[in-house]
């Protein structure tokens, strides 16, 4: 059980500066259980709390854990230069949570501009660190379309290990399954820079299309491109479990 004052609830969930949060309550724009929140200093139980701000319903979360279906033509950096940032796909409270310089949720690892698929985002530094640590071997599944037809020897080499320029040791896929003349499902347990593209280049092929379909047991299911959703507590536990 934990409690917060209403103005702290709004501030922690990213609804603006303390002054803005106070203003939202004073203008009658915040409701709870169908009733207007009147006292910004009143305490409220935050477990399983839902409230509305300007008519939009929000859950309270100590930390935010989300999945996003990244569309092609978006960049994972905050200040995107050539393409729109993935962060523009999120509502502003998720980009402002916590306040300060490192406010908002951050992508856990990055996908290239032209890659689509599953991205996890969070504002929990420990969670992000755990998932991006080289010691964390949660499998990531990629659906790859290649420029040239695939052959059995390319698939074998991807699993046996290929040399990547800056890596002293060969890098191997956890699994590689050919699904068509130009398509394969590749499972990786590391997250090296442009890893899929470099591995396919190392076997004399080229990536034409790349989609991340799975991280651990998490899949996008029917989440449409460009959409996001909260992860459930079980999903958070599963994806961050030691492997
Ligand atoms: N490997 C790549 O080459 N690109 C991605 O976006 C993800 C993995």
3-class DSSP state of 196 = helix
Q: Which residues contact 192 (CB under 8 A, 6 or more apart)?
A: 164, 167, 171, 198
Task: Report which DSSP code applies to 62.
Answer: S
**pLDDT, average across residues 174-181:** 98
Nearest 5 degrees, angle CA 57-CA 59-CA 62? 150
Q: What is the mean pLDDT of the chain?
A: 94
From 111, 171, 173, 192, mutation site for ligand 1 pocket: most ligand atoms within 8 A of C-beta: 111
* Per-residue model confidence as pLDDT tens digits over 77-112: 988 789 999 999 999 999 988 776 678 999 999 999
What residue owns the CA closest to ligand 1's atom 4? Answer: 194
Q: Tokens 């959703």 sit at which residue?
A: 229
Alpha helices in the chain (DSSP H): 6-12, 18-26, 92-96, 125-132, 152-160, 195-202, 233-240
Given a cut of 80, is residue 150 above it in pLDDT? yes
Give long-range contacts, CB 8 A cutoff, 24+ apart: 237-242: 239/120, 239/131, 239/138, 239/215, 240/127, 240/130, 240/131, 241/216, 242/136
* Per-residue model confidence as pLDDT tens digits over 20-37: 999 999 999 999 999 999
* Per-residue model confidence as pLDDT tens digits over 220-232: 999 999 999 999 9
3-class DSSP state of 127 = helix
pLDDT bin (cut points 50, 70, 90) of residue 134 is confident
Determine if ligand 1 sits within 6 Å of the CB of residue 114: no
Task: Report which DSSP code applies to 241.
Answer: S
Pairing mode, if any, of strands 43-45 and 3-5?
antiparallel
The residues annotated with a catalytic role in the active site are 112
> Structure pTM?
0.94
């Amino acid at each position: 059980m934990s409690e917060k004052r209403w103005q702290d609830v709004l501030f922690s969930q990213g609804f603006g500066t303390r002054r803005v949060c106070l203003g939202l309550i004073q203008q009658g724009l915040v409701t709870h259980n169908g009733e207007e929140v009147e006292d910004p200093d009143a305490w409220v139980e935050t477990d399983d709390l839902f409230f509305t701000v300007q008519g939009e319903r929000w859950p309270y979360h100590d930390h935010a854990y989300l999945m996003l279906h990244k569309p092609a033509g978006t960049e994972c950096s905050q200040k995107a230069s050539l393409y729109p940032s993935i962060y523009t796909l999120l509502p502003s409270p998720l980009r402002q949570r916590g306040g300060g310089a490192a406010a908002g949720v951050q992508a856990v690892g990055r996908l290239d501009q032209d890659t689509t698929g599953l991205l996890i985002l969070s504002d929990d530094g420990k969670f992000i660190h755990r998932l991006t640590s080289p010691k964390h071997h949660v499998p990531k599944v990629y659906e790859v379309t290649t420029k040239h037809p695939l052959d059995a020897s390319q698939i074998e080499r991807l699993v046996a290990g290929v040399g990547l320029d800056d890596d002293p040791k060969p890098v191997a896929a956890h699994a590689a399954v050919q699904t068509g003349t130009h398509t394969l499902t590749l499972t990786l347990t590391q997250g090296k820079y442009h890893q899929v593209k470099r591995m396919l280049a190392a076997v004399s092929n080229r990536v034409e299309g790349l989609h991340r379909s799975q991280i651990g047991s998490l899949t996008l299911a029917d989440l449409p491109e460009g959409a996001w959703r909260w992860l459930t507590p079980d999903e958070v536990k599963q994806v961050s479990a030691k492997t």
